[in-house]
């Protein structure tokens, strides 16, 4: 501490940086101070000592249901799974050429993608620290490959910036960081920080700002080779006599701010979206298929559950064979229910009023995803983009470039929309054909010379119209969690719920698996006490 000056706390320093740099800058400081966290994976559950003949019926053959069944059977329980669809995996789903999908309202899509091409309507990427999912993918032989999450060569588009012209992410990011670094440097020189640092800390911070923001010796962000090394060159370095590079012009800082690039920078700093990420080789449903190799013999498909009742002696589930119309019942000592809350709330049960209220309290998101098959990989051949996302403030939200078969000459499928909020509602209210046209129109802002010309076919999934879930995933808020979460996940006599909705990792496969491990561990304890 210097005379009359207090050293600021880390919180005060992060706040000062955050006021100028936004969430990404705050997160960068947090990780420097060691505050980054990982998801929890305690390892496979210990279910030793299962009573001989004890039985469990699992409702739903999504990942949570199949993991619960796998570990329970391995422990010695007699297990049966009832699944509404004719396939395993639930929202772990892939559409390929030859598939047919009918949404609520009756619109049917026949997917015509070329052999080997596919579209993942639900989950499409796996964070590096989702250890539960990575563990079981390895255990079940599901091959993974890199998912290119961050690509500095993609585009940011905002209708209110640069006259509506998209700009490369690398240039916007560099100019934003440079501008913020210069502003913060000036604030330091003018004693603009609320809580001054020591002189040594000021020197360190200035040096950090110089390196982070590519500032010159006068602490200015200027057009030079230093800034161009981040944002890109007008003339890249070459060889021989004319090999000298030429720096590129900087964007006006007010236009950089209008672009909203700081939101995209913060997006990539979100712990769930940081590199490295992965995807299954051949489509996301390879995970569901990998799980089903171990529990497929337990699954009854086309089983629509209509009633779930429990008593002192056990659980009775009534279900209808959707293919034959035959009504049957399944009985067991206990039940693990992984049915999405949107559907479970419509099934007759004798669960408590508090449990029923919790089930009915959680809304689901309305995401829409659209896959577009193009004749060639023009984003690679014409724009040097290999994986990653281009963002827009239009309804489609983003387009995402495929992370497999780089440099192939044949057709390929890119994600033409990942819409939520108002955009998700509007696209969800359209016909599949109308959604494709909107995706082509809005996506053309990034690749105007290629998008429509190279288009072959498309497929879309509006999750609010998916019959077996009627929404994408659970969206808890602070109030509903406080009031209903513990009641939802609590074991009630012989029934326990599991799935992404029963976790703090909603909308992620990892959340489903962690909830399943927690649920069957508590169920096993209850069974031993019975």
The whole-angstrom separation of Cα 46 and Cα 71 is 9
The pLDDT score that the predictor gives to residue 183 is 80
Do 167 and 222 reside in the same domain of the chain?
yes
Q: Is residue 225 part of a domain?
A: yes
Do 444 and 483 reside in the same domain of the chain?
no
The pLDDT score that the predictor gives to residue 191 is 64
Q: Is residue 355 part of a domain?
A: yes
Predicted model pTM: 0.84
Do 413 and 443 reside in the same domain of the chain?
yes
Q: Is residue 41 part of a domain?
A: no
Q: Which residues contact 276 (CB under 8 A, 6 or more apart)?
A: 128, 146, 149
Q: Is residue 128 part of a domain?
A: yes
Residues 47 and 56 sit within 8 Å (Cβ to Cβ): no
| CATH number of the domain to which 416 belongs | 3.90.660.10
The whole-angstrom separation of Cα 236 and Cα 229 is 9
Residues 46 and 69 sit within 8 Å (Cβ to Cβ): no
The label of the residue with tokens 């210097």 reads 2
Do 338 and 484 reside in the same domain of the chain?
yes
**Cα-Cα-Cα-Cα dihedral sign, residues 73, 79, 80, 85:** negative
How far lies 169's CA from each of 153, 219, 262, 302, 393, in Å? 6, 23, 10, 46, 14
The whole-angstrom separation of Cα 51 and Cα 72 is 11
How far lies 180's CA from each of 173, 210, 276, 367, in Å? 11, 11, 27, 34
Q: Is residue 43 part of a domain?
A: no
State how many domains the chain has. Answer: 3
Query: Helix or strand or coil: residue 132?
Result: helix
The counts of H helices and E strands in the chain are 18, 25
The whole-angstrom separation of Cα 525 and Cα 530 is 9
What would the two tokens of residue 98 be?
């030859």
Do 389 and 279 reside in the same domain of the chain?
yes
List the domain range (segments joined by +) for residue 339: 55-90+286-360+474-529
How far lies 519's CA from each of 223, 304, 337, 438, in Å? 58, 23, 10, 42
- Averages of pLDDT over runs of 10 residues in the chain (530 residues) are 41 46 38 44 92 97 98 98 98 97 98 98 93 96 96 94 95 88 77 64 80 88 89 76 83 89 75 81 98 98 98 97 97 98 98 98 96 98 97 97 96 97 96 98 97 98 97 94 95 97 92 94 94
Do 354 and 478 reside in the same domain of the chain?
yes
Do 86 and 105 reside in the same domain of the chain?
no
Residues 265 and 24 sit within 8 Å (Cβ to Cβ): yes
Do 32 and 166 reside in the same domain of the chain?
yes
Do 187 and 309 reside in the same domain of the chain?
no
Instruction: Provide the strand spans (E) within 164-302.
Output: 167-168, 233-235, 246-247, 277-280, 299-300
CB atoms within 10 A of CB 174: 26
Do 454 and 374 reside in the same domain of the chain?
yes
| CATH number of the domain to which 64 belongs | 3.50.50.60
The pLDDT score that the predictor gives to residue 245 is 81
Compute and round to an integer the Cα radius of gyration of the chain.
26
Q: Is residue 46 part of a domain?
A: no
The pLDDT score that the predictor gives to residue 240 is 60
| CATH number of the domain to which 236 belongs | 1.20.1440.240
The whole-angstrom separation of Cα 62 and Cα 466 is 15
The whole-angstrom separation of Cα 509 and Cα 62 is 10
The whole-angstrom separation of Cα 269 and Cα 272 is 8
Q: Is residue 45 part of a domain?
A: no
CB atoms within 10 A of CB 175: 28
What would the two tokens of residue 375 be?
């004749």
Last residue of a domain, one of 465, 497, 521: 465
Do 279 and 142 reside in the same domain of the chain?
yes
Q: Is residue 268 part of a domain?
A: no
The whole-angstrom separation of Cα 276 and Cα 524 is 35
CB atoms within 10 A of CB 58: 31
Report the chain's terminal Cα–Cα distance, integer Å.
Answer: 63
Last residue of a domain, one of 440, 465, 490: 465
Do 345 and 391 reside in the same domain of the chain?
no
User: Residue 307: phi, psi to the nearest 5?
Assistant: -155, 140
Last residue of a domain, one of 414, 438, 465: 465
């Amino acid at each position: 501490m210097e005379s009359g000056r207090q050293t600021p706390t880390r919180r005060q320093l992060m706040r000062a940086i955050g006021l100028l740099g936004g969430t990404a800058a705050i997160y960068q400081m947090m990780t420097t101070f060691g505050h980054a966290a990982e998801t929890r994976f305690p390892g496979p559950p210990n279910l030793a000592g299962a009573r001989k003949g004890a039985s469990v019926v699992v409702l739903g053959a999504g990942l949570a249901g199949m993991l619960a069944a796998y570990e329970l059977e391995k422990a010695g329980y007699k297990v049966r799974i009832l699944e509404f669809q004719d396939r395993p995996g639930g929202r772990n789903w892939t559409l390929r050429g030859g598939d047919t999908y009918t949404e609520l309202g009756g619109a049917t899509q026949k997917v015509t993608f070329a052999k080997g091409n596919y579209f993942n309507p639900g989950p499409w990427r796996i964070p590096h620290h989702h250890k539960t999912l990575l563990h079981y993918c390895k255990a079940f032989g599901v091959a993974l490959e890199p998912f290119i999450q961050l690509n500095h060569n993609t585009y940011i588009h905002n209708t209110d910036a640069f006259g509506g012209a998209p700009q490369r992410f690398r240039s916007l990011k560099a100019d934003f960081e440079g501008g913020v670094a210069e502003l913060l440097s000036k604030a330091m020189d003018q004693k603009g920080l609320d809580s001054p640092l020591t002189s040594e800390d000021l020197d360190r911070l200035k040096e950090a700002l110089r390196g982070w923001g590519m500032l010159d010796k006068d602490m200015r962000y200027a057009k030079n080779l230093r800034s161009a090394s981040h944002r890109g060159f007008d003339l890249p370095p070459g060889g021989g006599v004319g090999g000298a590079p030429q720096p590129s012009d900087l964007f006006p800082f007010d236009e950089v701010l209008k672009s909203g690039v700081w939101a995209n920078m913060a997006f990539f700093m979100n712990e769930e979206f940081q590199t490295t990420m992965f995807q299954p080789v051949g489509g996301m449903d390879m995970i569901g298929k990998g799980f089903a190799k171990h529990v497929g013999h337990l699954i009854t498909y086309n089983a629509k559950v209509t009633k779930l009742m429990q008593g002192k002696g056990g659980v009775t589930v009534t279900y209808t064979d959707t293919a034959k119309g035959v009504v049957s019942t399944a009985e067991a000592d206990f039940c693990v229910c992984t049915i999405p809350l949107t559907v479970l709330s419509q099934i007759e049960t004798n669960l408590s009023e508090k449990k029923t209220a919790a089930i009915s309290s959680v809304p689901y998101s309305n995401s829409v995803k659209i896959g577009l098959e193009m004749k060639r990989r023009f984003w690679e051949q014409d724009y040097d983009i290999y994986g990653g996302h281009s963002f827009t403030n239009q309804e489609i939200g983003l387009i995402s470039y495929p992370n497999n078969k780089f440099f192939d000459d044949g057709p390929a499928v890119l994600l033409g929309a990942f819409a939520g909020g108002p955009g998700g509602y509007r696209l969800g209210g359209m016909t599949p054909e109308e959604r494709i046209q909107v995706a082509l129109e809005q996506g053309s802002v990034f690749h105007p010379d290629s998008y429509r010309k190279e288009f072959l076919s498309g497929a879309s999934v509006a999750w609010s119209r998916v019959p077996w879930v009627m929404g994408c995933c659970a969206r808890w808020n602070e109030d509903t969690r406080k009031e209903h979460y513990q009641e939802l996940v609590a074991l009630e006599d012989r029934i326990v719920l599991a799935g992404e909705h029963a976790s703090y990792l909603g909308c992620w496969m990892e959340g489903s698996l962690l909830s399943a491990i927690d649920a069957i561990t508590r169920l096993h304890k209850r069974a031993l006490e019975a």
